[in-house]
Amino acid sequence: MRWGFILCGAVVSALAWAEYACTSDTFVAGDAASDARAPVTQSDFCNAEGTYLAHCQIDAACAMANLNNCGSTFAALNPALSAAIVACVDKDQLECNLDLGSMILSPCIQSELAGFTNDGGALAQLTGDYCKACAPSSATCATKFASAPGQPGYLPSLFADFIIGQMDTACAQKLDGGTATAGDASFTCTDQFALCDYILLGLTLPSDACKDGG
């Protein structure tokens, strides 16, 4: 798995093409952040990355460069996702060489995230702008938006507020609610939002030395 992270197209489709201290979240009993442990720290996260690389026998120079940059990755993730990753590494329940999208959908991460709700103001703003553009007459848009994998707001909800804010400014606030057609391909408002999010994540998340550095 790369911790500079990449989102593969198939997983983005499965997700409905859908700083640490600044995010507010709610959990139910049983998930990674609801037990008696102290909150996951950057050190915990980076140690987990090192453990994962050692377990998977990944020792390439570029992987070590990614490990040295793990703090940037930690800062980009919602604390719930960081905690879930650490928990699944501790349990040795993550397959080797997972990209971020596949990892989010893995059974262990989904189990750890059960009951997770992002209560932050950044996601609330994103939700409002998305629903205003894409589903203005829907009474359930806001409650469904980030409720589960397959909903357009689920993937954004797993990142830090500064990334969610960029998604709102660059993506949701630019939607006009229409359908863009190019040749035989038709993109709905939701498709446009998800594609924009995908591109923005690629530009915003820490680079992968194994992909970008040769």
Residue 55 near residue 49 (C-beta atoms within 8 A): no
Q: N- to C-terminal Cα distance for the chain?
A: 17
**Tens digit of pLDDT for each residue in 162-208?**
999 999 999 999 887 665 555 545 678 898 899 999 899 888 888 77
3-state secondary structure of 186: strand
| pTM recorded for the entire structure | 0.78
The domain spans of the chain are 9-212
Best CA proximity match to 118, nearest among 77, 146, 140, 141: 146
**Tens digit of pLDDT for each residue in 80-124?**
999 999 999 999 999 887 777 788 889 999 999 998 999 999 999
Residue 53 near residue 67 (C-beta atoms within 8 A): yes
Encoded tokens for 133: 């553009």
**Tens digit of pLDDT for each residue in 121-164?**
999 999 999 999 999 999 999 999 999 988 999 999 999 999 99
